[in-house]
Amino acid sequence: MTIATTGAVRRAQIVSAWSFDVFDTFLLRACTTPDGVFERTYELSGISRTCPNISVSFVQHRIQAEGRARRAAKDRRGAVEVRIEEIYSFFPFNLFGLARRDLSDLVESEFAAEFELCRVNPDMLRQYQDMKRAGRRVGFISDTYWDSHRLARLLRACSPGLVWDFLYASCDHGSGKSETLFAKYLAEQGVDAHASFHIGDNEQADVRGARRHGIRPRYYPQASRELASKLQRETSLFELLCPGVPSRLDNGMRTLRRMMAARSAEKSPAFHLGAMVLGPVMTAFDAFIAERCEQVAGPGRRVALGFLGRDGFLSHRIWQDLHGATSAYLEINRRVSLMASADTLQPLLEFLPKIAKFDAPTFRDMVKVLPPKVAAFFAKSPDGIVTGEALAEALPELMETSELLALAAILRARLLAYLRHAIPGFDDCTDLVLADLGYSGSVQKALRRVFDLEGITIRLHGAYLISLDDSFHDLAGEDSATGFISDLVITPHAKRMLVRNVALLEQACCSADGSVRDYDGGEVLREINPHTAGQIALAAEIQAGARAFAAGAGDVARDLSLQPYDAPDVAARWSAATLARLLLLPDEDELALLGDLKHDVNLGTQALAPMLDRDFVRNQITARGLSAACTSAGPPMWLAGSFALTSPSYAYLYTLFGANRLPADVFEESPCGMVQVGLFHADGEAVLEQVAIQRTGLGELRVRIPVSRAMGIAMLALPLPKFAAEGLLHGVTVQSAGEIREAAASQDVIGIAAESLVFAGMQRNGEHYRSESEDGCLLIPVASMAREIAIYSVAITPLGSSPKWSA
């Protein structure tokens, strides 16, 4: 026999096979994590009726029972594989009002939960069928407490008519894939390991276990490490923001996202962010808008839908992609709608303080006129700039109401011409649904005043992604407003934390066009977009990812028999958690991607505010304490991101504060001693003053030294060895005001440059210092004071031995 003939015979004798893991590979569960099955068991078993609102306790006891069963099996048999009945034998029946005779009912309830939640993975099914048609042996190898009989029932229920050549359940053989189950499979089936493949999601069992026996593994993770980390943070936020609500049963929203991620090609980080984070939220919001339109519709009603620009741009594009040209994109902002609706000066006076600074050209561009008294007011101000608050206070004496009303009437006519141009059959409409990111319905209310002034009876209905529901108490007549993420989804306290950081979402959803400033013949006249080309391109890439998710989600959901948006309250809660994870707990990659974004206030000014500022947060914590820092007004506009840039733990503390879960007596400061500080005059004369040392909940020390302008102090000498001979100096800051209480509360905190500090008698390396003698001092120069009071704050983390200080 020749060598070639021998090789042919050998190839003919080779038996190759493809084996599939079952759970989270061939079968997917329509819940956030596998223990969602236990949460559904709690509901199906009837325990939820007799012992309501304790699903978390049930799930944890089910997990603990499995752990105890496996430890007992290890002690008795030397292996950890167990059957489902063994697991429930360790369950605390009495706690839930059950008896041991209820064991079989619990087992059947859990199996029913599997039947309800499991779906065949269409990608795996296609591979399975391809291998079957190619003549390969195909079957399943699963680490599971369900025996092969039940496993077969479940597989055929999910994929009727499914046939296989082999089926191995670890509990039947007393060994898992990480142990000897693969070896048993190879021996019994006569399979050539080197010509065979195994597909699974568990790196230890499916990949390393298969490779150890010569089988070629195909790794099929449920999510990448990066996505898995995001999902874990989302779950933490869900449980924090939506306490008492089942956190594992989401109608398959997370399964849908994981499948979309598995099918998506490699794209840019911005596209991926849009697809995996923003896309799911905006697709759920689209379903909410569609439902809102259906609720408004009725006999005799003609309903139009409009998306408010600029940050309703992405929502509008998704609606067009999914529903066709059945809506309008309405470029109406707060400034235009407020001016058009003015019948007194009051709306303008309420609006002006929302703009930090004004100059005369900005005022003229906004109001379309610059009365002489107003021009003189600006001319008298330093550099011709005033705050919006100061302008609002002075305006009643500077401008006649009649001037404003004449301008309002002109703008109102132009706005209505634009609406008639943008919305076909506008005058025949009975109802107009306004879709927007939110929040208090200011544009909707202004449009109501415009319509009322012009005798237009169209009802207005807000459909907002995020709503501040206490702002809707004054809606007129039959108008309405509803938020997808309403105060029934997350609490008002937490909602305001989201809105404080929502500028990031606005920029991601925004149109590339500048903000509207006027209309002409039904056309929009816009401001110049002040953003860089790079930011505009980044937003477009994020939006492309979000649209890709929305376009593909429907088909994938149908493939998996998922209905992720059928329960609006469930969809809203998980959308809130998904959005909150991005806004409140971003990861390092997201901070790097989004950190250079700027926010324009969209009020007719060209001002841009930074999203992130790490030094701002650090200085606020040093000067004012953690809780006060958490309440800082913008800029920076993305305060949570600025905390995250400081450290992930600070971001989580900020989130706890916003959810009203940060106890002040744990994390705030408390006095722990006194220290004498040297105050040096310019002539070298010095006095000693005792100041308090404060300890924070994070173990840092704070020293605050107030000085007055009248004291003429040139240098402060802080004797660090007296209370922290070695430590990390996080910073020195100064706040100034007319009196001490005002200075202490001021958000205007200036960091003292590290180069200007003198470490006398101490070694210093970056933030770290160590005293060389008991006489060492930190010397802090006192700048020339323009205000009466200045407070210098020093933040230190002591190292080495316990800190000491004088009583």
Claim to verify: residue 78 and residue 194 sit in the same structural domain: yes
Residues, the chain, total?
807
Check whether 131 has a pLDDT greater than 80: yes
- Per residue in 252-290, pLDDT (tens digit) is 999 999 999 988 888 899 999 999 999 999 999 999 999
Q: For the ranges 41-55, 143-157, 397-411, which has the lowest average pLDDT?
A: 397-411
Check whether 148 has a pLDDT greater than 60: yes
* Calpha distance 626→468 (Å, rounded): 26
- What's the domain count of the chain? 4
Angle at 168 between CA 64 and CA 30, to 5 degrees: 55
Question: Which of 603, 632, 665 is the last residue before a domain boundary?
Answer: 665
Claim to verify: residue 434 and residue 538 sit in the same structural domain: yes
Angle at 109 between CA 55 and CA 53, to 5 degrees: 15
- Per residue in 346-403, pLDDT (tens digit) is 877 877 887 777 788 878 877 778 888 888 988 988 888 888 888 889 888 888 888 8
Check whether 21 has a pLDDT greater than 80: yes
Claim to verify: residue 483 and residue 533 sit in the same structural domain: yes
- Domain assignment present for residue 398? The answer is no
- Per residue in 740-759, pLDDT (tens digit) is 999 999 999 999 999 999 99
CA 368 to chain centre: 40
Cα dihedral across residues 738, 740, 741, 746: positive or negative: positive
Claim to verify: residue 414 and residue 465 sit in the same structural domain: yes
Claim to verify: residue 677 and residue 734 sit in the same structural domain: yes
Q: Give the global pTM.
A: 0.92
* Calpha distance 404→366 (Å, rounded): 11
- Are 121 and 25 in contact, with CB atoms under 8 Å apart? yes
- Domain assignment present for residue 49? The answer is yes
Which residues are bridge partners to 764 per DSSP? Answer: 769
Distances, alpha carbon 528 to alpha carbons 209, 515, 649, 655, in Å: 61, 7, 39, 36
Region 319-330: what's the mean pLDDT? 95
Phi and psi, residue 23, nearest 5°: -75, 135
Instruction: Determine the longest span between alpha carbons in the chain, in angstroms.
Output: 112
Check whether 9 has a pLDDT greater than 50: no
- Domain assignment present for residue 702? The answer is yes
Q: Is the peptide bond before 310 cis (omega within 30 degrees of 0)?
A: yes
Find tokens 């079952």 and name the residue: 22
Question: Which of 582, 611, 640 is the last residue before a domain boundary?
Answer: 611
* Calpha distance 117→437 (Å, rounded): 33
- pLDDT at residue 806, as a whole number: 45
The domain of 303 spans: 242-325+408-611
Cα dihedral across residues 766, 767, 768, 769: positive or negative: positive
Task: Give residue 345's identity as a one-letter amino acid code.
Answer: L
Question: Which of 189, 222, 255 is the last residue before a domain boundary?
Answer: 222
Check whether 340 has a pLDDT greater than 70: yes
- Domain assignment present for residue 383? The answer is no
Residue 258 neighbours by CB under 8 Å, 6+ apart:
28, 222, 223, 227
- pLDDT at residue 802, as a whole number: 55
Quickly state the pLDDT bin for 666 (edges 50, 70, 90): confident
* Calpha distance 456→435 (Å, rounded): 20
Domain of 133: which CATH number?
A: 3.40.50.1000
Joined tokens for residue 684 = 């070298």
Claim to verify: residue 308 and residue 282 sit in the same structural domain: yes
Check whether 102 has a pLDDT greater than 60: yes
Task: Give residue 799's identity as a one-letter amino acid code.
Answer: L
* Calpha distance 417→196 (Å, rounded): 70
- Domain assignment present for residue 229? The answer is no
Q: Which of 166, 151, 149, 159 is nearest to 129 (CA)?
A: 159
User: At 685, is the secondary structure helix, strand, or coil?
Assistant: coil
- pLDDT at residue 136, as a whole number: 93
- The long-range contacts involving 662-671, CB below 8 angstroms and separated by at least 24 positions, are 662/626, 662/627, 662/630, 664/627, 666/697, 667/626, 667/627, 667/696, 667/697, 667/698, 668/625, 668/626, 668/627, 668/696, 668/697, 669/625, 669/694, 669/695, 669/696, 669/702, 670/694, 670/695, 671/695
Claim to verify: residue 306 and residue 444 sit in the same structural domain: yes
Joined tokens for residue 673 = 């001693």
